[in-house]
Chains A and B, each alone.
Chain A
Amino acid sequence: MNKLSTLAVFSFLLLSVLFSGCASQLQHNQMKFGIQSAQKDLWDEAIFRWEKSIRSGYNSAAAHNNLGVAYEKKGMMDEAEKEYKIALKLDPGNEHIQSNYTKFKKYWKEPEKAEEEKDEKK
């Protein structure tokens, strides 16, 4: 009886992990598909995937960060800034999001400073 109940608990845990894994795997696939689209310069498709991912409840910092990048590429600066801010709120310690947002601010808000730094690096 004891063995049977242990087995039942393990099975329940295993199934719940598998189901949650499947759901997050679907979202992960959406995210990856968006990234692949962006790498092929298909930014509208990428935006569609990441927006869909967020709409379906996957409110991750990654999705918002990627949308920030995509909006920046499309020249939608206000939307990009909004997405970067949400991403940072969700994952304040993420160095990639921090880097993106810092570069975004430097490039669009202080273009002359960015120009000088570029020349100094040369």
Chain B
Amino acid sequence: MKRNRIFLLLLIFLVLYSCKTGNYWKIKLELPVKTNLDISQYKNIVIANFFLKDDKNDFEINPVLLEYLSSELSQDLDKTISTKNIVLDNEEIFQNKDFWKGQAPEEDATAFLTGSIEYTSETRKALMGKYKKQFDNPFPNKNRLASRKFYNLKMNVYFINAATGEVIYNTNFKETQAYENPNQTAEFAFFDQIHKVKEKLFRQMLGGERIQQRYLISK
């Protein structure tokens, strides 16, 4: 009888062991970023002026932007990069095929990189409470008025086929950056934000790799 009990216990143990819950492993994968824009067919990229919306800034955005983009694109792309000063009157101009065909340079396989930009700033103020000290404080806690300067950048970027005037790719970016320094200049903040936009835009154009997490399971 005692031997039967041992057999029974052993059997229960084996059944439980075989039915134990499955294990899993987290694994990090470097996956290629899917690109929606194929620029391989273009040999030349002409960076045109951007249409400025509500421009109240104390610096010229277009020369700064064009110089920055042409410098960065030249480093990362094996293509001829140039800039062109094109007067853009409104946002609808990007859909005007004839307008862009008229701007096309002599070189074949050219794409325009252009778009619209809205760059604004605002100062926000708020009462900030002081943190409470752990020991007895003989002085009462006082709230202080703190201010932050916010810069907002909205960019609508278009790639346009110079031969057909058609928009081949359109994407939007929105960046907001806060600064404690009330004397932060708009131009300096613009560089911070345009750098972030560039990173995203180049990822969309060139691909690259991104870390993703997945689960491998054994049962």
Which residues of A come within 8 Å of B, CB atoms? 3, 6-7, 10-11, 13-14, 17-18, 20-21, 24, 28, 31-32, 35, 38-39, 60-62, 65-66, 69, 72-73, 75, 94, 96-97, 99-100, 103, 107-108, 111-112, 115, 119
Contact = CB atoms under 8 A, between A and B. Distances in A.
Nearest to B34: A111
Interface of A is mostly: helix
Contacts of B32: 75
Contacts of B41: none
Q: What band does the interface of chain B fall in when counting residues whose beta carbon is under 8 Å from A?
A: 20 to 34
B93 interface: no
15 contacts: A14-B11, A14-B14, A17-B11, A21-B18, A35-B25, A62-B217, A69-B216, A75-B32, A94-B217, A96-B24, A99-B215, A103-B214, A107-B212, A108-B34, A112-B204
B213 to A, nearest CB: 7
A100 B214 contact: yes
B146 interface: no
Given A6-B4, A103-B212, A97 B14 contact: no
A96 B7 contact: no
Contacts of A111: 33-34, 36
Interface of B: 1, 3-4, 7-8, 10-11, 14-15, 17-18, 22, 24-25, 27, 29, 31-34, 36, 171, 200, 203-204, 212-219
A94 B15 CA distance: 22
A65 B7 contact: no
Interface of B is mostly: mixed
A32 to B, nearest CB: 6
Contacts of A32: 218
B4 A28 contact: no
Contacts of A6: 4
Contacts of A65: 215-217
B11 A39 contact: no
Contacts of B31: 72-73, 107
